[in-house]
Amino acid sequence: MKERGILSPSDLRKPFNKAVYAFMVLCVAVMVVTMLYPIAMTLFNGLKSNPEVNSFPPRFFPREWHLENFAKGWSYIDLATYLKNTLLIFAGNLIMTVLVLGLAAFSLSRIGVPYGRAIYFFILMTLFIPASSYLIPNFVNLKELGLLNTFWAFWLPAGASAYYFLLIKNFFDGLHPEIFEAARIDGASEWIGFSRIAVPLSLPIFGTLAIFIFSTAWNDWFWPSLVMQTEDKYTLATAIYKYVIGARSLDTNVKFTILFMAMIPPIFVFLAFQKFIMRGVSLSAVKG
């Protein structure tokens, strides 16, 4: 059965509603074009010859299609190693978020730890501290711990994100307490309540955080350039910044192919996790 929209077919026949609807469609079309244009421009510039990329006036579509540019871009830098490092950082950050922040949020939301409200407001207060103010202390702490040039330089700070903690806690607060009370009556421990009840019911928020964490791990180049001191530990964004953006000996069309290959994985990650953002949590199984 097709759901009725805001405007019925008879409403759309009115001139004013037609004009408003056409304006809305135009705005959506403009938004789509502005989002897709940089991706398409990067792709087509990567398929051009180098003289055509630097020619004026520029052409959107290439005169000749040079697919070999992608092979040149892939072999110019070790993209596979940098991609592996980025995915390792993403996986570790996601695990730390689920375990450390998830358990902390579950403790304050469902267990009722002592001084829980004071702890919650203390964590909330840290959101008002500029991130640049604790950049140097974090670096010094990691140096003293001997964790520079290791992935723990990313994984440990991931377990101290106040913003992600508050998102998880607010989601846990919305879960019906009857579910956890019934589990306790049946003899389930708090770990069982967290791992088998809270986490499965909270897949929407963890899916959303997975997108945020992946975007941060994929786009961040400044922090990896500080804590990673050898080339084999660089992330993809750091390698592109150091070896591609400022490379004068590299052809412009090959630069575009590398940049386009770096654009593709985030798109697929979003398509894989976006269903968790839209999906609601059904708790109708709770009996009164």
Domain-wise residue ranges, the chain: 9-70, 77-245
What's the confidence (pLDDT) of residue 170? 87
pTM: 0.79
User: Of all residues in the chain, what percent carry a pLDDT higher than 90?
Assistant: 14
pLDDT at 246 over 60: yes
Is the predicted pLDDT of residue 286 greater than 50, yes or no?
no
Give the CATH superfamily of 77-245: MetI-like (1.10.3720.10)
Q: Is there a contact between 240 and 262 (Cβ–Cβ < 8 Å)? A: yes
Q: How far apart are CA 187 and CA 195, in angstroms?
A: 15
How many CB atoms are located within 10 Å of the residue 137 CB?
9
In angstroms, the Cα distances linking 132 to 87, 115, 150, 182 are: 25, 29, 21, 45
Q: What value does the mean pLDDT take over residues 85-106?
A: 92
**CA-to-CA dists, residue 107 to 28, 59, 162, angstroms:** 43, 58, 15
Q: What is the pLDDT of residues 251-264, one digit of tens each?
A: 888 889 988 988 88
Q: What span, in angstroms and rounded, lies between the C-alpha atoms of 282 and 207?
A: 16
Structure token pair of residue 168? 């998880």
47-to-71, 74, 82, 258 alpha-carbon distances in Å = 11, 14, 23, 11
Average pLDDT on 220-240 reads 88
Question: Using 50, 70 and 90 to split pLDDT, how confident is the model at 276?
Answer: low
Average pLDDT over residues 21-50: 90
